[in-house]
Amino acid sequence: MRAKARACANIALAKYWGKSDVALNLPAVPSISMTLDRMSSETTVEFVDGLASDEIAIGGEQASAGEARRAVELLDRVRAAAGIAARARVVSTNDFPTAAGLASSASGFAALAAAACAAAKLDWDDARLSALARRSSASAGRSIHGGFVELAAGAPGDDALAATLLAPAEHWDVRMVVAIVSTGRKDVGSTDGMELSRTTSPYYRAWVDAAPALCEEVRAAILARDLARLGPAMEQSTMAMHACAIAARPGILYWLPVTLEVLATVRRVREKQGLGVWATMDAGPHVKVVCLPDDVDAVRRALSRTEGVLRTVVCAPGPRVRIEPVP
């Protein structure tokens, strides 16, 4: 009863921020993401008879209490569905910084869902796998699929809500250049940040009202492979989400000074060099820059000249979650 899965991270082009049902972890707004080929989590799950409790290691260290609780809840759902009682040994590694606003929960829970189901011999389709991952972390529901992925807003109570494929990776050869600007963990995780936004930000309602139209524009731009249309809609979705979070009490500010430096670089490259480049940020200080493959070198050069950028990772649309052989 042992299986290994690999899932890629994803970055939202139209953001999810806020829940319509906290208990079932359903998003209040629709979102669309790109799965990233160069950032992934690999997770092995083994159900072991006689183990006293689930043992969870992330990146070679024992998981924190909060991380472990969320993983155990997912394992409990798998055990209930498969009718097994054995506790599990879970070993997960990321090939990028964990919990610094770099979508580690997305790839982590997608890989955990797929590996746990495979280890428990549950032959679930993508919709059930995605719903399982989504329940733990909504963005993880999107990492079941490769390419471009959408997750609708959830009606309260709809625990079957799953992400669906919008377009496969081959549909559009775009790049996301991830500018990593810190290695530390973030202060406020996305779950807490969006809940504080929902309950205290005067701009939360405005965000929820504005998000669907921005998501629709992102969707149309992806289907038309129109970067000049995608970029501004993606940036506005990002800024609207952060404006909502900044106005919470206390304000949630994920950006560092270097985040603004990178944003200025992106604008300069766009306005002065005339390149099609746009930026997005999530619940952390890093900046992800979307551009066409031909412009990657110029973008990387500009980013590496920006003080405070530690390194860049160039990602293309990546593959779906997959089960890998275990020895």
Side-chain half-sphere CA neighbours of 279 within 13 A:
21
| 266 versus 281: smaller Cβ distance to ligand DP6 | 281
Q: How far is the CB of 326 from ligand DP6 (least distance, A)?
A: 27
Q: How far is the CB of 231 from ligand DP6 (least distance, A)?
A: 17
What tokens were used for 20? 């319509």
| 4 versus 186: smaller Cβ distance to ligand DP6 | 186
**264-293 positions binding ligand DP6, by CB under 6 A:** 282-283
| 237 versus 302: smaller Cβ distance to ligand DP6 | 237
From residue 7 to residue 36, what is the string marking binding to ligand DP6 with x (rule CB under 6 A)? -----x--xxx-------x-----x-----
Cis ω before 250 (30° cut-off from 0) = yes
Q: How far is the CB of 116 from ligand DP6 (least distance, A)?
A: 17
What tokens were used for 303? 């980013």
Q: Are strands 87-94 and 55-58 parallel, antiparallel or unpaired?
A: parallel
Q: How far is the CB of 131 from ligand DP6 (least distance, A)?
A: 13
**155-194 positions binding ligand DP6, by CB under 6 A:** 190-191
Residues 6+ apart with CB under 8 A from 178: 11, 36, 39, 102, 286, 287, 288, 289, 312, 313, 314, 315
By CB under 6 A, name the one of 20, 41, 137, 280 that touches ligand DP6: 137
Residues 6+ apart with CB under 8 A from 116: 3, 45, 74, 75, 78, 88
| Residues binding ligand DP6 (CB under 6 A) | 12, 15-17, 25, 31, 105, 137-139, 190-191, 282-283
